């Protein structure tokens, strides 16, 4: 465990150095501006071909981040600053999220209708989109938080809106309950109309409508929603009108399936009817049978146990609700296609528990396009007994395939995969490992296509203090590693696994309580999730590509033999480029991985005294924790032929005066700026023929300080002594 209970000035004494970026827009030697071919869309649309995204005839990886709410429409100077900053650090896509959630701070709507934009706010977003496009940065549109927040004018379309709440609760607006959108064509109409209004709007700064602009690469139908989640019945509970509408439709659906009330009673059993408090008197004739359900009911163990007396009811509800969800998706797709939009569309990015509902929900997403998911790691939770905030200050490196990486258990064969929200949540200290792991194992070995780290906003530069946002992409220990990881991702340094661990699911059989022959489990906190099965362990993500295969007929899932990929304490990837050593059992801090590819070599994690042997250099870490990268600087080069390398070495970061307790599960003092960077000490043994020099760079990528000359092909570096994480290697 790293020593943490220190006096405020002891970090400086231990070699921690202040982060000092004064020119975040200056490309310097770190800059990747030329890697992003501008303007975005110059070669036409991003296209989905099977499981890969293509652009300009070549496979495309999108490495991005989020902007949210009104910060999707920043003032012009900030828009310019962000676009330049993002391009420098290899960000080639931005997810504009929740711009259509409300008015004021919560978005760019006019306050009268969920479907209408404020002209000034929309103009600012137009300008920002144009600035991003001009820098070669693609845009994904994710309009709202999820459940639409409707306004007075929307009662013309949703006359029963006030059944969901009071206007005073949200300053003249009413947020409909989670999952309600799938039940209500009226709510769907307003939701779809908002996107249609934006697609038809001509951006004066690009000259194109949003439907025409190829820089708009993806539309997200609805954020973090599922009709099969635990929130499924919330709208029905609140609205008598929605209950009547849905009850009538479900009753008619059952009438068609079973022919009569008696047929329904025979199929369900008398006990199943009227067994919910919300619907005590259920009748097909009266249209009062309600499709009430949640993932607990659809777990196969519960269907054979405490819910056995309602099993057929639950399976019918699962089939009906899945149909409604897919209907909404199909209606949305048809509407935006009719409006002239030809780009990619993704459905939603939420889970629906485990077992039957999980795979039914994922199946509906797969009928639309690219699979998208969200996951987080770290953060803190309040202890209910003591009231204290307990920090999750563990490391994803401790367990192979854990944390955010386990989202790959939901990758679907034949489709691209996207993780559009993820990050190590403050005050977890190990943020540098997030881009490292997602970049190498996610967008590398697993063949994922798109990544967006989550944040609400930034100022077009690095964060001056940690903790002002819980989700902080521009924290130095996170974005500071982008010059290495973005190069690795955009260049495609890490080979995709050809070997596959497949979870086979027959979608049609799900509604009979079958469809797969393995046990799955989804452990969900608030935003964090862990996914696993008994036949394919998440650790398989460190070895082979994991994917769900929706089969045409029931098929057996083969158990994945992870032992075949073990080399001593390490799990070796099937490509041979990656090795992951897990922490000792029970340890939540520990573990490391190594990467050896033509363009990037790396040693990341708790690897003190360990050496990562590579094709062009060996890296030995002398610090307890850190991420050390060797990167070819040029876009089409390798470490074997490039005349210049970039060395990046980053550990943890803390505010000045920031302190944890000895157990690292309580934040004693959040501290204040400036941000201090943990020193990383390491040795390189160069095996590439020839002579070179090593030049320290400042935090913006400009040469500083004296040149370092390797001795007998070896050079020892200490980022605390040099007060920088960046070094420029020049080969003669």
Q: What is the dihedral of CA 401, 403, 409, 411, to 10 degrees?
A: -110
Query: Is the same domain home to 646 and 557?
Result: no
- Per-residue pLDDT tens over the stretch 672-725: 999 999 999 999 999 999 999 999 999 999 999 999 999 999 999 999 999 999
If the chain, 732 residues long, is cut into consecutive pieces of 10 residues, what is the mean pLDDT of each piece? Answer: 53 91 96 98 98 98 99 99 99 99 97 98 99 99 97 98 94 96 99 99 99 99 98 98 99 99 98 98 98 97 97 99 99 99 98 96 99 96 84 96 96 99 98 99 99 98 97 99 99 99 98 96 67 92 99 98 97 99 92 99 98 98 98 98 98 95 90 97 98 98 96 98 98 96
Same domain, 90 and 136: yes
Check whether residue 270 and residue 203 sit in a common domain: no
List Cβ neighbours of 276 (8 Å cut-off, separation of 6 or more). 290, 292
Whether 5 is in a domain gets the answer no
- Specify whether the CB–CB gap between 194 and 115 falls below 8 A: yes
Q: Are residues 198 and 341 in the same domain?
A: yes
Q: Bridge partners of 731?
A: 692
The answer to whether 97 touches 223, Cβ cutoff 8 Å, is yes
On the 0-12 / 13-18 / 19+ scale of CB atoms within 10 A, 709 is exposed
Task: Decide if 131 is inside a domain.
Answer: yes
Whether residues 584 and 537 fall in one domain: no
Structure tokens at 437: 């792991």
Give pLDDT, residue 528.
61
Give pLDDT, residue 387: 80
Task: Clarify whether residues 437 and 455 are in a common domain.
Answer: yes
Residue at token pair 């509407």:
335
Print the domain residue range for 287.
Answer: 234-292
Q: What is the pLDDT of residue 3?
A: 46
To the question of pTM greater than 0.75 for the whole model, the response is yes
Instruction: Tell me the three state secondary structure of residue 437.
Output: helix
Please say whether the beta carbons of 372 and 349 come within 8 A: yes
Q: Answer yes or no: do 192 and 52 share one domain.
A: yes
Distance (Å, whole) CA 261 – CA 243: 19
Backbone angles phi, psi at 379, to 5 degrees: 80, -160
Question: Among 434, 463, 491, which residue terminates a domain?
Answer: 491
- CA distances to 210, 302, 608 from 217, rounded to whole Å, are 10, 42, 43
Q: Count of CB atoms within 10 A of residue 716's CB?
A: 14
- Number of structural domains the chain divides into: 4
Is 385 found in the same domain as 534? no
What DSSP assignment string belongs to 377-392?
EE-EEE-TTT-PEEE-
| Domain boundary, last residue among 491, 513, 543 | 491
Residue 333 maps to a domain:
yes
**Roughly what angle, to the nearest 10 degrees, separates helices 185-200 and 311-338?**
20
**CA nearest to 406, candidates 442, 430, 436:** 442
Q: Are residues 287 and 379 in the same domain?
A: no
**CATH number for 126:** 3.20.20.80
Note whether 697 and 644 are within 8 A (CB).
no
Q: Please check whether residue 14 lies inside any domain of the structure.
A: no
Query: Which DSSP helix (H) or strand (E) runs through 256?
Result: helix 240-258
* Residue 413 to residue 505: CA distance in whole angstroms: 11
Cβ partners under 8 Å of residue 612, min gap 6: 594, 595, 596, 601, 602, 603, 618, 619, 620
Residue 511 lies in a domain: yes
Q: What was the pLDDT predicted at 524?
A: 64
In this structure, is residue 328 part of a structural domain?
yes
Q: For residue 450, is it within any domain?
A: yes
Query: Of 491, 517, 550, which residue sits at a domain end?
Result: 491
Are 478 and 509 members of one domain? no
In whole angstroms, give the CA distance from residue 551 to residue 536: 17
Could you tell me the sign of the dihedral formed by the alpha carbons of 22, 24, 28, 29, in that order? positive
**Same domain, yes or no: 435 and 539:** no
Instruction: Decide: 24 and 461 in contact? Cβ < 8 Å.
Output: yes
Tell me the three-class secondary structure of 175-197, residue by residue: ECCCCHHHCCHHHHHHHHHHHHH
Q: Are residues 613 and 519 part of one domain? A: no
């Amino acid at each position: 465990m790293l020593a943490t209970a220190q006096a405020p000035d002891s970090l400086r004494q231990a070699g921690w150095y202040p982060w000092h970026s004064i020119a975040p827009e200056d490309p310097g030697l770190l800059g990747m501006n030329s890697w992003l071919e501008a303007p975005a869309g110059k070669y036409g649309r991003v296209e989905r071909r099977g499981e890969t995204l293509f652009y300009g005839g070549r496979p495309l990886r999108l490495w991005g981040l989020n902007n949210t709410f009104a910060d999707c429409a920043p003032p012009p100077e900030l828009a310019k600053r962000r676009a330049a900053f993002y391009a420098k650090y290899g960000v080639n896509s931005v997810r504009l999220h929740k711009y259509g959630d409300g008015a004021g701070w919560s978005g760019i709507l006019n306050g009268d209708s969920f479907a209408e934009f404020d002209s000034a706010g929309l103009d600012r977003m137009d300008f920002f989109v144009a600035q991003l496009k001009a820098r070669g940065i693609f845009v994904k549109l994710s309009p709202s938080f999820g459940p639409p927040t409707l306004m007075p004018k929307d009662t013309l379309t949703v006359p029963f809106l006030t059944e969901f709440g009071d206007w005073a609760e949200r300053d003249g607006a009413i947020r409909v309950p989670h999952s309600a959108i799938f039940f209500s064509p009226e709510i769907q109409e307003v939701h779809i109309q908002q996107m249609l209004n934006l697609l038809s709007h001509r951006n004066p700064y690009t000259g194109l409508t949003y439907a025409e602009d190829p820089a708009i690469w993806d539309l997200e139908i609805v954020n973090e929603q599922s009709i099969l989640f635990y929130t499924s019945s919330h709208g029905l509970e609140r609205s008598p009108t929605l209950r009547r509408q849905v009850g009538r439709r479900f009753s008619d659906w059952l009438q068609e399936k079973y022919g009569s009330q008696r047929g329904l009673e025979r199929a369900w059993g008398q006990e199943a009817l009227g067994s919910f408090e919300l619907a005590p008197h259920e009748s097909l004739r009266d249209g009062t049978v309600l499709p009430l359900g949640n993932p607990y009911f659809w777990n196969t163990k519960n269907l054979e146990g405490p819910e056995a007396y309602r099993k057929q009811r639950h399976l019918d509800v699962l089939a009906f609700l899945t149909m409604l969800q897919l209907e909404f998706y199909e209606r949305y797709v048809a509407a935006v296609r009719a409006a002239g939009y030809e780009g990619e569309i993704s459905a939603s990015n939420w889970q629906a528990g485990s077992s039957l509902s999980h795979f039914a929900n994922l199946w509906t997403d797969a009928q639309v396009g690219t699979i998208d998911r969200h996951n987080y790691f770290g953060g803190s939770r309040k202890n209910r007994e003591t009231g204290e905030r307990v920090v999750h200050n563990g490391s994803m490196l401790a367990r192979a395939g854990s944390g955010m990486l386990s989202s790959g258990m939901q990758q679907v064969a034949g489709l691209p995969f996207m993780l559009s929200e993820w990050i190590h949540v403050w005050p977890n200290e190990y943020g540098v490992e997030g881009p490292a792991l997602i970049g190498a194992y996610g967008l590398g070995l697993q063949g994922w296509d798109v990544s967006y780290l989550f944040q609400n906003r930034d100022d077009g530069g690095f964060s001056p203090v940690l903790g002002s946002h819980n989700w902080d992409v521009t924290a130095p220990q996170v974005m500071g590693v982008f010059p290495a990881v973005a190069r690795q991702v955009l260049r495609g340094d890490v080979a995709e696994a050809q070997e596959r661990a497949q979870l086979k699911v027959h979608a049609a059989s799900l509604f009979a309580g079958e469809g797969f022959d393995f046990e799955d489990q989804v452990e969900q906190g608030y935003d964090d999730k862990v996914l696993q099965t008994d036949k394919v362990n998440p650790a398989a993500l460190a070895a082979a590509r994991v994917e769900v295969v929706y089969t045409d007929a029931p098929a057996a899932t083969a158990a994945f033999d992870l032992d075949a990929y073990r080399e001593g304490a390490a799990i070796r990837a099937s490509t041979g480029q990656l090795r992951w050593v897990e922490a000792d059992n029970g340890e939540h801090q520990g573990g490391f991985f190594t990467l050896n590819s033509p363009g990037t070599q790396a040693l990341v994690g708790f690897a003190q005294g360990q050496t990562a042997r590579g094709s062009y250099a060996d890296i030995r870490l002398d610090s307890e924790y850190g991420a050390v990268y060797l990167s070819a600087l040029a876009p089409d080069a390798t470490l074997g032929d490039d005349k210049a390398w970039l060395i990046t070495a980053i550990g943890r970061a803390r505010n000045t005066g920031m302190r944890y307790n000895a157990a690292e599960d309580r934040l004693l003092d959040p501290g204040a700026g400036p941000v201090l960077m943990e020193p990383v000490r390491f040795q390189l043994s160069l095996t590439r023929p020839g002579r070179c020099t090593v030049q320290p760079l400042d935090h913006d990528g400009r040469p500083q300080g004296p040149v370092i000359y390797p001795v007998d092909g070896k050079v020892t570096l200490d980022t605390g002594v040099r007060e920088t994480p960046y070094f420029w290697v020049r080969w003669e």
